[in-house]
Amino acid sequence: MHPFSFTKVASTRDALNAGLRGGRYIAGGTTLVDLMRETVERPETLVDITGLPLHRITVTERGGLRIGALVRMAEAAADSRVRTTFPVISQALELSASAQLRNMATVGGNIMQRTRCTYFRDVTAACNKREPGSGCAALEGVNRTHAILGASGDCVATHPSDVAVAFAALDASVHLLGPDGQRSVPVTGFLLRPGSTPNREHALRKGELITAVEIPAHPRPLKSGYLKVRDRQSYEFALTSAAVALHVRGGVIREAKVAAGGVGTVPWKLPAVERHLIGERPSDALWTEASERAADGARPLEHNRFKVELLKRTDERQLRIVGGNR
C-alpha cells in the first residue's frame, strides 16, 4: 500500500480546508480502502469526516426526506420514515453489499463508490478511468457485466450503486458544501457519463463535500419498490435492476418514476417508460408495452447482449409487483 497521512476533522470548515489542500474524504471506507490496498487509489492524505454532523434523517417542510451523507446504509434502510415513504430506497439498500458492509458504508459514500469493472481494479490492464489515455481493456475483453446504455468508446463500465438508482427514479438531489457555499445537483446530473473523460465520474468541485441527499415529496399514495437481478442472491452487483414508483388516483396512473441499474454508466432513468405509463389504467398489457421501451438506445457489447431482454423483463416484473396483476 502507498504511504499516506490520516487526519480526523471535527468541523466542516476544517474538512473543507483539508479538502482544498487535496485531502480525500473518507467515512465508512468500504470502497476506498479496498482500492488503496490494490494500489488503484493512492491518496496522499485521508480526511476522516465521520465526526461531522451529517448523521440525521429529516422530513423536509414539503414532506420529502433529507438523508445526511454520513447516515449508514443499514440505518437508512431501517428508518421507519424511509421504509414507509419510499420503500424503494430501503429495498435498494438492503439488496446492496453485505450486512457488515451496510453497517459501515454511508449513503454519501455509496453514491461515490467506483465501478466494479475488473480491468479498473487490475493495475496491469489498460483502463482510461484509472489511467487516462491508456485504453479500455473491457472493449475487447470480457464485458458481460458492462454497460449497454450511456457508454462511450473510452469506457463501458457500469455504476455499481443500487440506492443511486432509487434516488434517480425519485428525482433526488445531492446537497453539496464547498468553499463557495452550498449548492444542490440532481443525482442524474451529479454522476457523469464517461464521454472522453471517464476518469471524471461526478460533479464535485475541489474541496466540496456531500452533505445530504434529498428526495422531494411525491403525491401520495406512492407505491414503490426495487428489484435486483444478479448471478447469486446475495453480496453481488446487479446485472439489471429496476426502481419503480407509481401514484395511482381514480384508477389512473398520475405519476410514474422508473430507473434501471446494472445497465448504464450512470443510474439510468427510463423516461420513455414513464411517459407510456402516465395517464393510463394499470394493466398487465400496459406493463408489457411500457417495458418494451426500457432498453431504448441500448448498444450492447459482445458478451452482454442478454441484458437488453433482461432489462425489459426486470422492468416489466417490477411494474407488475408495484402496480399489481390486472
Residue 43 or 198: which CB sits closer to ligand SF4?
198
Spatial neighbors of 28 by CB under 8 A, at least 6 apart, are 72, 101, 104, 105, 106, 109
Number of residues that bind ligand SF4 (CB under 6 A): 14
The CB-side HSE value for 19 (13 A sphere, CA atoms) comes to 21
Using an 8 Å Cβ cutoff, are 120 and 198 in contact? no
Residue 304 or 318: which CB sits closer to ligand SF4?
304
Separation CA 315–CA 189 (nearest Å): 23
CB of 234 to ligand SF4, least distance (A): 24
Residue 106 or 115: which CB sits closer to ligand SF4?
115
Candidate ranges 13-21, 35-43, 153-161, 283-291; the one touching ligand SF4 (CB under 6 A): 153-161
Residue 158 as a binder of ligand SF4 (CB under 6 A): the answer is no
List the one residue from 115, 173, 314, 318 that touches ligand SF4 (CB under 6 A): 115
Residue 148 as a binder of ligand SF4 (CB under 6 A): the answer is no
Taking alpha carbons only, the member of 326, 318, 248 closest to residue 290 is 318
Residue 198 as a binder of ligand SF4 (CB under 6 A): the answer is yes
Residue 129 or 276: which CB sits closer to ligand SF4?
129
Using an 8 Å Cβ cutoff, are 240 and 262 in contact? yes
CB of 127 to ligand SF4, least distance (A): 3
Taking alpha carbons only, the member of 265, 318, 315 closest to residue 152 is 265
Residue 149 or 157: which CB sits closer to ligand SF4?
157
Separation CA 294–CA 181 (nearest Å): 38
List the one residue from 9, 23, 79, 119 that touches ligand SF4 (CB under 6 A): 119
Separation CA 284–CA 315 (nearest Å): 12
Residue 182 or 196: which CB sits closer to ligand SF4?
196
CB of 155 to ligand SF4, least distance (A): 3
The four Cα atoms 48, 54, 56, 62 give a dihedral, to 10 degrees, of -150
List phi, psi (to 5°) of 176: -125, 145
Residue 224 or 240: which CB sits closer to ligand SF4?
240
Instruction: For residue 163, count CB atoms less than 10 angstroms from its CB and return exposed for 0-12, middle for 13-18, buried for 19 or more.
Output: buried
Candidate ranges 18-26, 127-135, 180-188, 243-251; the one touching ligand SF4 (CB under 6 A): 127-135
Residue 167 as a binder of ligand SF4 (CB under 6 A): the answer is no
Spatial neighbors of 192 by CB under 8 A, at least 6 apart, are 200, 201, 202, 203, 266
CB of 82 to ligand SF4, least distance (A): 31
CB of 19 to ligand SF4, least distance (A): 25
Residues lying near ligand SF4 in the complex (CB under 6 A) are found at 115, 117, 119-120, 127-129, 136-138, 155-157, 198
